Amino acid sequence: MHTTIPEGLAAARAAYHAARRAGDRGGLAPLLAPDFTAIDLSGAVHGPEGAAALPLAGADATLTAADYGDLVLLTERDPSAPEGNLVAVEVWVRQGAAGAWRLIVHHANVLADPSAPHSHPTPQARPADAPPPVCENPCLSVPYQPREPAEADIVTAFQTLERAVTRNDADEWVKHMADEFVVYRTRQSLTTKASRAQMLRDHRAINAETFVAAVEAMRLWVFGDAAVMRADHVMPGNRRPPYRVTRVWVKRDGRWQMALSQQTTRAG
């Protein structure tokens, strides 16, 4: 992984944001992948026509890059945006014979204020022999049929890590998470691999009941040793509102690992 933006991508991104500011849909079209998806702050999903409506970060925003070869993840953060602590992720992929960079997902979110303390529900202790929650979807099945072996391997990794969560098994969970993994959730503080693993260990110590959300819909695209997953989720018992997720996966040492989870609550 590198943190610099490839030269060709830098030019494509500059053109993309110039077209957005100008409301130039014709200028946007060649910069977007055929399956382009825009997810706004309300969790609504848009096609190419929605790109111009996404919030624009200010001049003080910071931009970081994760270069995974044929897929580059760009994360723009603007804590002082009018909407709040804005975090927008752009997933760019190299496509076609010419290897042109195209945007496949632009996903916006607002986190908790940077000064706010981390807040999570207090886990409830249970008897040591209490079983984990029932988890048919996604632990055993998801509403998606893989189109190739790499997709099947990613789905298997996803199901394995979700089963690990329901069992508070941090040692298994970390195997499927990249070191740079981070999760962004609407109006929540960001969570890293280390902090999430510690949470699972804390839950395991009291055998807390830990739930994962079912998958309503899923799509996958693989680009060499990187992939993007788009999924919509609902939580059992309405423990949290439905939400939409963009995940980035990377294959390292023969194992698919999740590098990003951007989660935006669906309004209404």
Residues 58 and 164 in one domain: no
Residues 39 and 90 in one domain: yes
Q: Give residue 247's domain range.
A: 149-265
Last residue of a domain, one of 111, 138, 166: 111
Residues 100 and 167 in one domain: no
Last residue of a domain, one of 92, 111, 130: 111
In a domain, 121, yes or no: no
pLDDT higher than threshold 70 for residue 130: yes
Give the CATH number, domain containing residue 19: 3.10.450.50
In a domain, 125, yes or no: no
Residues 34 and 97 in one domain: yes
Domain count for the chain: 2
* Mean pLDDT, residues 191-208 taken together: 97
- Rounded to two decimals, the pTM is 0.95
Residues 161 and 257 in one domain: yes
Residues 96 and 15 in one domain: yes
Q: End-to-end alpha-carbon separation of the chain, Å?
A: 38
Residue 268: the pLDDT is 67
Last residue of a domain, one of 111, 138, 169: 111
Residue 84: the pLDDT is 94
pLDDT higher than threshold 90 for residue 98: no
